[in-house]
Structure 1
Amino acid sequence: MQDKNFRSLLTTFLIVLLVFSLMACTNTSSKDTSQDTNQDSNPQNNEQASTEDDESANGSEEVVTLRMIIRVNPEYVVEGNPIIEELEKRTNTNLEIEAPPINNYSDRLNIVMASGDLPDIIYLGDMGTLYRNWAKDGLLLKLDEYFEKSMPNAKKVLTEEELAFTRIPELDNGLYSLPRVQTKPWDNIIYRKDWLEALGLEVPTTPKEFAEVMLAFAKNDPDGNGQDDTYGWSYNRAMGHLHRNLIGGFNIRPNSVPDENGNYELMQAQEGYMQFVDWLREMYINGAMDPEWYLTKYAEDDEKWNAGKLGAVYTNKITEHMTSPTNTQVKKTNPKAELVAGPPLRPEGKTVSDVYYPPQIWGNWGISADSEHIERAVAFLDYGYTDECNELLVIGMEGVTYTRFDPKTRFALRTPEQQEAAAKYTSTYASINFQTQDKGLLFVPGGTEEEFNTFMQAYEEIGKQTHRITYLPETIIPGIREILVKIEDSGINTRYQEYETKYICGQISREEFVNFIQNEYIPAYEEYMNAIRESGINKK
């Protein structure tokens, strides 16, 4: 009986012991598993936390794909471009860039805008009817709120005068794109320095001096080849009609600039206009001017200049062109050719040339209203208004497109190989904004010390003789474009060109021309000028 009780107690004891042993094992296993889990996960968590801290400190974000359509020169290479790759790193983006041929860009853009599949960032290059219609159709993102709250760089750089070009009055004066603004070097006229020296002449500064020099270039064999095959210059009405390099010498103001009494006058109604065309007529008749000037299309005067036939070019010329291949090609025709810059013409007795100078808007950038990455597209565009971004896009990278860049002089020294790389990988067209954040020149043209010195000499000399007067053109006035379309449709501008050509070429009298201007041309612009008067533009 006792044995039986003993065995029963022993069995109970062993069962209890076994239960406790199993419980102990389970607890130990749980603790070990917990410890193992913590040992496996803690380093990972710490690493993740560290990474997040680093990302936060660096302002990094998830890489997103942004699609762009841009207008660039034919030499520019998109695929395998190290500058674009660097831009992607800086902005944490993968850029899918479409760059249609520059000559067909507008056609391709129209197709893209009508496709319903817009890229995130769009170089519009249009501030007229097409742009307004795209905004009205809801294709473009309204940027006002983003500009105020999320675009500190753009807000710091762009002025209200510049933004006026991309605001749309009929849409609550909304901002549907940002302008690409450029700071240009000084306007100037380029002369053949070797011709001046051969004839013992100085760089002209007034209309009278200009006419005398042009006549000498045409009649006195400045190139010394013994042939009567040169002219002073060619009046390019296609690109340089009433150009600011010329009209300051006759005190002609833009239509939108009032006189000292606050009165607005059409340029052709101002006293200086007839003095100007009289001046042109005299040079045509005495042979100082290219006799086929009226046939000039686009930049054909540059072609005659490069062929060594002209002694001066003025159309849209700035000091940058002193080293530009566009104008230095004349040295291939005549290796001894030398160039010199002269100031915009000024009236007799003045030592400084007044040049009316509107904000230089070189296209505009918009964002698709349907972009899946609006915030990132906005941030990308805002980055485009920093020196860091535009120096990369236009000047490039050290060791790739230049050897040395001086941020003070804005000059980049390049080897021949780097000049080739710069032509492929950088472009002024690729810039988001073409000026520094303090409105200075983004870069000084030229890749050699000689070109730098040539530019700086011209820049400093013309700068001393130039007074720029900033003004807003009438094209920003609401409704004025529609008025201009009606004027164009009336055919009056075609008749004006015919009459002006005939007068300059001596085919009609001064009285006939004045009669046309006063009785037909000026009245045709009355509604246009009234819109300017009502706006009060440029009045202080």
Structure 2
Amino acid sequence: MCELISKQLLGISIAATLIFTATGCGSSSTTTKTSRQALPESIQNLSFDEHLNISVGYWNIEEMEKATEPDAMTQYIEDLFNITLEPIAVTWSNYKERYQILSATGSLPDVFATLTLSSNDNNDSATFSDFINTGAIRALPEDLTDYPRLNEILDSVSYTRYTDGKYYAIPRVSFLDPVLGATDAAMLVRRDWMDNLGISDPESFQDFADMTIAFAKNDPDGNGIDDTLGYNVNSINALGKWVILGIAPECNVYSWTENNGFYVPSWSTDAFKQVVKDYRLLYEEGGLDPDFYTKSPSSVMDDFAAGRLGALEYKSSPSSLMELKNRWDALNDKSFEDCVDVLPVFPAPDGIRYSNSSSSFWSESYISSDVDDTKAERILALFEFLLSDEGQDFCHYGLEGIDYEKDKDGNYSCLLDTKGESLTTALARKYPSSILFSGIATWGGSWKDFEVNDMNTLRYGKFATILASESANYCKEHTTQVSRPYAFMSYPKEPTEEFSASNAFKQFISCIIGNDDAVDMWENVLKQMRSDGLDEYIQMQNENFAKSQN
């Protein structure tokens, strides 16, 4: 069962602050002030006398890029650090290719976020090595004394040092507590459909299959029309991230698994054959959406929100549930609260209920090698601010004195009229740059995001906050997290197309929808790969990793 964002919040100050309501929180004409006192103490003595232009590459900041004038959050940062930000927007579909082109032409942004070390795909980690070997990015300073928050993060993932002993990546932390990685894989279900059909929580894969088949075939909404679907995943690359936890847990992310100190791709193990077999069953019997492999993430989300899909493999963080509820409210007349639940994971064949484990960070930020020391220092100072308590307040609540107030006891009060939207949505609408600032340095990732309190209710909505909290705590108390060899997984691999996780996944899809016996098809895939050198490739990656540890 079971993203996050962070900061301490708590309670309501009654004497000097405004009282929260479920729909908004008033307004204020108070102005905020830009002062070096807003900076973490460690960087208050750094010189920002020289004005600098800093280009920043990030996902989905087109509005910020097109704006003729910076919004107030951008202006605050530019004034605080004496910089002018030059946003460069990339999309989720083009960012890898875009950065490769910019790297090849020597025109990378000064700082940019992308996915390399934390990817399950060998070719992404190979891109990390390529960035370094071609001189596209610069190493972080050896002395990070002025940046204690950043230094703490790097110490926690010391295995991300390159073979030269230097750090190049700034990990964008997702989960400060590893347990919260469980929320990265969840099954959202139509609880009302289960009740209509008399279905209890599944206790095995077969129970789950039977439930999804019933959703597709037994008119769960009672309208007398054959218009419902069983199960699908919001993003095809995450197919099985929750379901496979109850089949072969170590295989649920198509990455590497360890056996007595030797590492192999999970999809090459015997256990994965059962995954192939079970997914063919889901597909043939109608439990899995017959068009699962062609639908976009948006269309799958709309299927669930509009009442066509009964089980959505997704996430259970507050922000993810908020996004889903927003879609639901736009497309469905029924109450989200009355219809939707997070399904407890069913036990694996060994009787244990497993939950997902994810790296503490997902994606990374890098500094271009064209950046000189002065600009690099300013970029790191900006990151240190965004990682600080003050910076997290800024990212999550906006501008102090305009969008929120904080009293001497640390209680927060919202000043922004949200007009019934979640605070996160209202801030993004008011300040398009909030997308950049809330994610470029860290995703957040603490239990404070899962606390049921007034500010989280404003950020995500009451039901999303409650459901996320219940789901995370269920995983903490009742499941065992899958163990993963993160040091090996993040170590740069030799580039390969045939033996990449993405190619293996494509072959897996072919076996699901194929006509011949699914397991026979999969065994033939592995036979061909081994004939082409899979075992030698695996041996080479193990040897390279072993050398790096000496």
Do they superpose with TM above 0.5?
Answer: yes
Counterpart of 1:309 in structure 2 is 308
Counterpart of 2:394 in structure 1 is 392
> 1:240: how far off?
1.8
Quick check: 1:460 aligned with 2:473?
yes
CA contact (8 A) 1:100 1:108 kept: no
Matching residue within 528, 531, 536 for 2:540: 531
Look up the equivalent residue of 1:342 and give its one-letter code. L
- Cα 1:237–1:398 change in 2 (3 A) is closer
- Cα 1:57–1:448 change in 2 (3 A) is closer
Counterpart of 1:504 in structure 2 is 512
- Cα 1:135–1:225 change in 2 (3 A) is same
Structure with greater proportional helix content:
1
CA contact (8 A) 1:268 1:517 kept: no
Counterpart of 2:173 in structure 1 is 181
> What are the superposed Cα offsets for residues 470-523 of structure 1, whole Å, 9 maximum, x if unpaired?
531755334x232x24646xxx9769845x455434610256325414522455
In 2, Cα distance between equivalents of 1:496 and 1:436 = 30
CA contact (8 A) 2:497 2:503 kept: no
CA contact (8 A) 2:78 2:85 kept: no
Larger CA deviation: 268-277 vs 229-238: 229-238
> What are the superposed Cα offsets for residues 23-79 of structure 1, whole Å, 9 maximum, x if unpaired?
xxxxxxxxxxxxxxxxxxxxxxxxxxxxxxxx9996374433231313143475463
Quick check: 1:471 aligned with 2:457?
no
In 1, Cα distance between equivalents of 2:82 and 2:174 = 26
> 1:233: how far off?
0.8
> 1:207: how far off?
1.5
In 2, Cα distance between equivalents of 1:327 and 1:282 = 31
Counterpart of 2:3 in structure 1 is none
Quick check: 1:420 aligned with 2:426?
yes
In 2, Cα distance between equivalents of 1:215 and 1:207 = 12
CA contact (8 A) 2:113 2:440 kept: no
Structure 1 residues 337-352: aligned runs within 5 Å: 337=336, 338-348=339-349, 350=351, 352=353
- Cα 1:101–1:477 change in 2 (3 A) is closer
In 2, Cα distance between equivalents of 1:369 and 1:389 = 27
Quick check: 1:158 aligned with 2:178?
no
How many residues are aligned here?
A: 470
Quick check: 1:248 aligned with 2:245?
yes
RMSD: 4.1
Matching residue within 384, 389, 392 for 1:382: 384
CA contact (8 A) 1:191 1:311 kept: yes
Structure 1 residues 330-341: aligned runs within 5 Å: 330-336=328-334, 337=336, 338-341=339-342
> 1:158: how far off?
2.8
> 1:217: how far off?
0.8
CA contact (8 A) 1:182 1:433 kept: no
CA contact (8 A) 1:206 1:345 kept: yes
Percent of aligned pairs with the same amino acid: 20
Counterpart of 1:34 in structure 2 is none
Which structure has the larger Rg over C-alpha atoms? 1
- Cα 1:408–1:312 change in 2 (3 A) is farther
Q: Alignment partner of 1:221: what SS?
A: coil
In 1, Cα distance between equivalents of 2:378 and 2:228 = 57
Quick check: 1:278 aligned with 2:277?
yes
Counterpart of 1:295 in structure 2 is 294
Quick check: 1:97 aligned with 2:53?
no
Structure 1 residues 104-183: aligned runs within 5 Å: 109=99, 113=103, 120-126=110-116, 128=124, 129-147=126-144, 149-161=145-157, 163-165=158-160, 167-169=161-163, 172-183=164-175
User: Which structure has more RCO (C-alpha within 8 Å, separation ≥ 6)?
Assistant: 2
Look up the equivalent residue of 1:99 and give its one-letter code. I
CA contact (8 A) 1:252 1:267 kept: no
Structure 1 residues 61-80: aligned runs within 5 Å: 61-66=47-52, 67-74=54-61, 77=64, 79-80=69-70
Counterpart of 1:15 in structure 2 is none
> What are the superposed Cα offsets for residues 275-298 of structure 1, whole Å, 9 maximum, x if unpaired?
222222222222222122233345
> 1:414: how far off?
6.0
Look up the equivalent residue of 1:352 and give its one-letter code. R
Q: TM-score, normalised by structure 2?
A: 0.71
CA contact (8 A) 1:410 1:442 kept: no
Counterpart of 1:329 in structure 2 is 327
- Cα 1:486–1:474 change in 2 (3 A) is farther
Counterpart of 1:51 in structure 2 is none
CA contact (8 A) 1:414 1:448 kept: no
Counterpart of 1:365 in structure 2 is 366
Task: For structure 2, list consecutive stretches of 5 or more residues without a partner in the other structure.
Answer: 1-40, 118-123
Counterpart of 1:353 in structure 2 is 354
- Cα 1:538–1:413 change in 2 (3 A) is farther
> 1:191: how far off?
0.6
> What are the superposed Cα offsets for residues 381-438 of structure 1, whole Å, 9 maximum, x if unpaired?
3333323223312432345445779999999796425643443425354234325597
In 2, Cα distance between equivalents of 1:203 and 1:59 = 58
In 1, Cα distance between equivalents of 2:248 and 2:489 = 22
In 1, Cα distance between equivalents of 2:477 and 2:387 = 29
In 1, Cα distance between equivalents of 2:387 and 2:319 = 25
Q: Alignment partner of 2:226: what SS?
A: coil
> 1:252: how far off?
4.0
- Cα 1:282–1:441 change in 2 (3 A) is same
Look up the equivalent residue of 1:224 and give its one-letter code. G
Task: For structure 1, list consecutive stretches of 5 or more residues without a partner in the other structure.
Answer: 1-54
CA contact (8 A) 1:219 1:228 kept: yes
Quick check: 1:82 aligned with 2:72?
yes
In 2, Cα distance between equivalents of 1:262 and 1:181 = 27
CA contact (8 A) 1:83 1:393 kept: no
CA contact (8 A) 1:189 1:245 kept: yes
Look up the equivalent residue of 1:455 and give its one-letter code. A
- Cα 1:405–1:290 change in 2 (3 A) is farther
Counterpart of 1:35 in structure 2 is none
> What are the superposed Cα offsets for residues 233-262 of structure 1, whole Å, 9 maximum, x if unpaired?
136783224x43122212342553323x44
> What are the superposed Cα offsets for residues 68-95 of structure 1, whole Å, 9 maximum, x if unpaired?
3131434754634222333345x44223
